[in-house]
Chain A
Amino acid sequence: MEVVLFYIMAGLILVFSVLTVTSRRILRAAVYLLFVLIAAAGLFFIQQFAFLAAVQLTLYAGGIIVLIIFSVMLTSHVSEKLDAVSFKKASFALVACIAGAVVCISTILSYPFPKPTNGEVDASMKAIGTSLLGYKENGFALPFEVISILLLAAMLGAIIIAKRTEK
């Protein structure tokens, strides 16, 4: 059952990733990307990592895709279509893609994937919460705070850029 679900999700990811880069309408590409991200969340759900899956849905599907769609909506019209890529560009892109795929697949196939020695990973909400804000062993309090400062700085930067008046 799980294997069948995995192949369905993997197939969806493959098909929609290819559609994302080949579509000539920019918003359709964004929607195909949305499907890729939702299918990735589905993969996490199959592996019982529900928290990770929900974060994937909130951040990527609900946050980043909405941001992309917003920017597309503000900048382009529904009837706009990107120009077809020339044969030269397309062939170079194909070569680069195949090279990248060969490197990735050969690395994955050669890696032995040893079984984790420390037993089952506890992925319950409680365990994630305590380790995310714990400052002792296996705690992530410092990275958590550093990331929040980074986000605050990014937010301030965005506000300053948006508020700049022309003189």
Chain B
Amino acid sequence: MILLNFSIYDFSDFINSIDTWLVETFSPTIGHLIGLVLVGTCFLLFTALLGLSLVYIERKVCAFFQQRLGPMRVGPFGTAQTIADIIKLIFKESLITKQSDKFLFNLAAFVIMMAPFIVLSAIPFAKGLQALDMDIGLFFIISVSSIGVTGILLAGWSSNNKYSLIGAMRSGAQIVSYELSVAISLMTIVILTGSLQLSEIIASQSNGWWIFKGNIPAIIAFVIYIIASTAETNRGPFDMAEAESEITAGFHTEYSGIKFAYFFLAEYVNFFIISAVGATVFFGGWMPLHIGDATFFNNAMDFIPPIIWFFGKVAVIMYFLMWFKWTFPRLRIDQLLTLEWKYLLPISIVNLLLMSIVALKGWHW
């Protein structure tokens, strides 16, 4: 019965039929509770798979940029390497430094995982495949991801290690300042969509993606978004918080075993989230490539399922960011803050004004 409603192009019927089945089989309250647990389990599984595959892909891409082969021994082309790594991490001893605040030390690993996990619920993966579609969608993503920095600060402080403390301070300053540019560059597109709801942002791109329709300000906004969001997630070349050559491993120096894996996983989930938000706002999310009223072309593009469009776009942006990471050398902390406060923030504010003028005059498509 339920499987009959399954369609790769539109998941809403499938999800609704599961929901009605649960409610009819059990009582409404228990049915909804089971539904909630199911959704949560799906996200947990997705996070785990994401972490496993992204670590492998990142190592491979890095290796190719450095003319190496990367992991090759475990499994065909080294595909089972990350599984071996996870098994190793689980069996490693979980060390805690003397005189550290043990409660906060353990809590930090949890807090740092919590924020990206909640944000994932608002990401539209395909048509009808979105857990939370609120009318403040984009604002919700920005506000929840601002909690993540607390985990980094707690980890650095409770480790009782001066390198961890310096790393945490650096990353705190970095994340708090780059958040502004990320938010403003996303707002630039919200001027055109007129809504913060992610499903409406996607629907507004049914006749072309904003990066093409939004004229010059949209392209400027995308460039700023890419730079600022890379910095916000502490990825290279902005990984001052964990600069190995200066402060060992920054805020997670003292973490080992499975707790270290949490930090690693959170970093990759954040990496996925910034790519997914970028793909949704600038490249239409799961919306296939449409050009105005060209019906034949649009129908041909609709043949490719939305979920493939979404993950394809996310993969392209991720590859771009990895390219970015393994090409540029690391910045200094003062250069990093100068870049944000003296260049990116003024440019993005002027760009916001420019976009308002473009929207008022109707100079976009």
Contact = CB atoms under 8 A, between A and B. Distances in A.
B158 A57 contact: no
Interface centre among A57, A63, A124 (most CB of B within 10 A): A57
A78 B153 contact: no
Given A57-B146, A63-B146, A50 B140 contact: yes
Nearest to A34: B150
A78 B100 contact: yes
Contacts of B99: 78-79
B305 interface: no
A70 B165 CA distance: 11
A28 B169 contact: no
A65 interface: yes
Interface string A66-89: 100110111000110000000000
Contact of B134 (A28, A50, A55): A50
Given A66-B153, A73-B157, A73-B165, A1 B136 contact: no
Nearest to B146: A62
A31 interface: yes
Contacts of B157: 27, 69, 72-73, 78
A65 B99 CA distance: 24
Contacts of A34: 150
Contacts of A72: 157
Contacts of B143: 54-55, 57-58, 62
B136 A51 contact: yes
A83 B154 CA distance: 22
A25 B165 CA distance: 17
Contact of B107 (A31, A62, A69, A124): A31
B104 interface: yes
Nearest to B165: A73
Contact of B169 (A57, A63, A73, A125): A73
Interface string A21-48: 0000101100100100010000000000
Given A73-B169, A78-B158, A57 B101 contact: no
B221 interface: no
A62 B107 CA distance: 17
A31 B154 contact: yes
Majority SS of interface residues in chain A? helix
Contact of B149 (A62, A79, A124): A62
Interface residues of A, number: 28
Contacts of A51: 136, 139
A61 interface: yes
A73 B167 CA distance: 12
Contacts of A66: 146, 149-150, 153, 172, 176
Interface in B167-189: 168-169, 172, 176
Given A28-B104, A31-B107, A50-B134, A70 B172 contact: yes
A51 B197 CA distance: 12
A124 B197 CA distance: 11
Given A27-B101, A73-B168, A79 B154 contact: no
Contacts of B215: none
B191 to A, nearest CB: 12
B120 to A, nearest CB: 16
Interface centre among B103, B142, B146 (most CB of A within 10 A): B146
B245 interface: no
A34 B115 CA distance: 13
Contacts of B169: 70, 73-74
16 contacts: A1-B29, A27-B154, A31-B107, A38-B147, A54-B136, A57-B146, A58-B146, A62-B150, A65-B150, A66-B149, A69-B157, A73-B156, A78-B158, A79-B99, A124-B135, A126-B195
Interface of B: 29, 32, 99-101, 103-104, 107, 134-136, 139-140, 142-144, 146-147, 149-150, 153-154, 156-160, 165, 168-169, 172, 176, 195-197
